[in-house]
Amino acid sequence: MTANENSLNWFEISVADIKRAKKFYETIFNIEMQEMEMMGMQMAFFPWEDKSGKASGGLVQSPQHVPSGEGAKIYLNGNPDLAVALAKVEAAGGKVVMPKMQAGDFGQMAFFVDTEGNTVALHSNN
């Protein structure tokens, strides 16, 4: 890996109920997620463009994917202002566990727990 490459290549958010989790993320980000089954896993993908060079990921339901609030933290893109997505978290069935706060010179951040019990972070420049 070099400084010109994404440090994040792909991410998977473990879920217990793919339909419920998909609805939650579609609601808070106002997106559509495409679903598919692959190698016995149920998956729903965040929007991305093939060959764009941008990192992306999805939701995955399988015996190997167990939701947890204790795992690695990923920061989803909340630009231009993470307050927009954060304001939808609780109505969509999640819980804000760290409200929007300043991350030094690096913008804003917040943590929420999704409908599956995962602690996920948001980051925005504003």
Read off the pTM: 0.87
At a CB cut-off of 8 Å and minimum separation 6, what does 95 contact? 89, 112, 113
| Phi, psi dihedrals of residue 79, rounded to the nearest 5° | -65, 150
Q: What integer pLDDT is reported at residue 88 of this predicted model?
A: 98
Q: What integer pLDDT is reported at residue 54 of this predicted model?
A: 83
Name the β-bridge partners of 108: 102, 124
Tell me how far apart the alpha carbons of residues 70 and 92 are, in angstroms, rounded to a whole number: 21
Q: What integer pLDDT is reported at residue 13 of this predicted model?
A: 96
Q: What integer pLDDT is reported at residue 111 of this predicted model?
A: 95
Does the 10-124 domain belong in CATH 3.10.180.10?
A: yes
Q: What integer pLDDT is reported at residue 126 of this predicted model?
A: 80
- Per-residue pLDDT 10s for the chain (126 aa) are 688 877 788 899 999 999 999 999 999 999 999 999 998 999 999 998 877 778 889 999 999 999 998 888 999 999 999 999 999 999 999 999 999 999 988 999 999 999 999 999 999 988
Q: What integer pLDDT is reported at residue 123 of this predicted model?
A: 94
Q: What integer pLDDT is reported at residue 63 of this predicted model?
A: 93
Domain residue ranges in the chain: 10-124
Tell me how far apart the alpha carbons of residues 9 and 95 are, in angstroms, rounded to a whole number: 27
Residue 57, judged by CB atoms within 10 A of its CB (0-12, 13-18, 19+), counts as middle
At a CB cut-off of 8 Å and minimum separation 6, what does 66 contact? 14
Of residues 50, 57, 3, 65, the one with CA closest to residue 31: 57
